[in-house]
């Protein structure tokens, strides 16, 4: 009986977390018709492509891929053109499933920055991956706060080189099933970076 109760509690918690997820198009199922490489709700992208149906997390659905077919500028995707996603609570974690292949030392940076209603930065979380990740892996990035009253979140996934200005041809990442939650999606050791992530609010 206790096992059934625990299972039901877990199902309710997961369902509630999914229902309250404020991230638009979190599984990248829809894209702008005028720009197939730009997912709805993510209006600041470079070298982003839609992953075919059935190749998303768990072998189903869609996903978004950042890739380099030429040695030009970093590949990235940022929520809502840098203005952020409207939220109404201080979420503790940014979660996603991801794959990553880095060529010649290219690495992946996954970050989230929280702003209050006055556009002051009150929290951030950042994760850097330098190793290749061949299959979809759950990741939960803890968000560290210096204040409260989060009103918007800016999410950014960026692929960069170890040296020079541009990532190498063949480097790529795939992301899927993004969420903001109060509890972690996965247990993965994430060290807090020695630097503070600082993003300037969009003056608009």
- Tokens 């203005």 identify what position? 83
How far apart are alpha carbons 179 and 70 in whole angstroms?
A: 31
Which pLDDT tens digit goes with each residue over 149-158? Answer: 999 999 999 9
What pTM, to 2 d.p., does this model score? Answer: 0.80
**What is the model's pLDDT at position 35?**
64
Which pLDDT tens digit goes with each residue over 67-120? Answer: 888 877 778 888 866 688 999 999 999 999 999 999 999 999 999 999 999 999
How far apart are alpha carbons 50 and 71 in whole angstroms?
A: 20
Kindly tell me the sign of the dihedral angle through the C-alpha atoms of 80, 192, 151, 20. Answer: positive
**What is the model's pLDDT at position 36?**
60
Kindly report the average pLDDT of the chain as a whole number: 81
């Amino acid at each position: 009986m206790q096992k059934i109760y625990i299972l039901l509690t877990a199902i309710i918690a997961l369902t509630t977390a999914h229902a309250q997820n404020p991230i638009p198009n979190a599984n990248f199922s829809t894209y702008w018709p005028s720009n197939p490489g730009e997912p709805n709700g993510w209006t600041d992208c470079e070298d982003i492509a839609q992953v075919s149906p059935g190749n998303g997390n768990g072998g189903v659905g869609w996903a978004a891929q950042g890739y380099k077919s030429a040695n030009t500028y970093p590949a990235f995707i940022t929520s809502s053109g840098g203005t952020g996603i409207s939220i109404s609570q201080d979420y503790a974690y940014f979660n996603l499933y991801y794959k990553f292949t880095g060529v010649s030392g290219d690495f992946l940076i996954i970050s989230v920055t929280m702003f209050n209603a006055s556009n002051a930065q009150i929290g951030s979380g950042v994760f850097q991956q330098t190793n290749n990740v061949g299959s979809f892996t759950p990741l939960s990035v803890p968000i560290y706060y210096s204040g409260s009253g989060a009103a918007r979140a800016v999410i950014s996934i960026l692929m960069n080189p170890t040296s020079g200005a541009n990532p190498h041809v063949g480097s790529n990442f795939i992301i899927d099933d993004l969420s903001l939650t109060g509890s972690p999606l996965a247990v993965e050791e994430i060290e807090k970076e020695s630097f503070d992530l600082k993003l300037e609010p969009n003056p608009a």
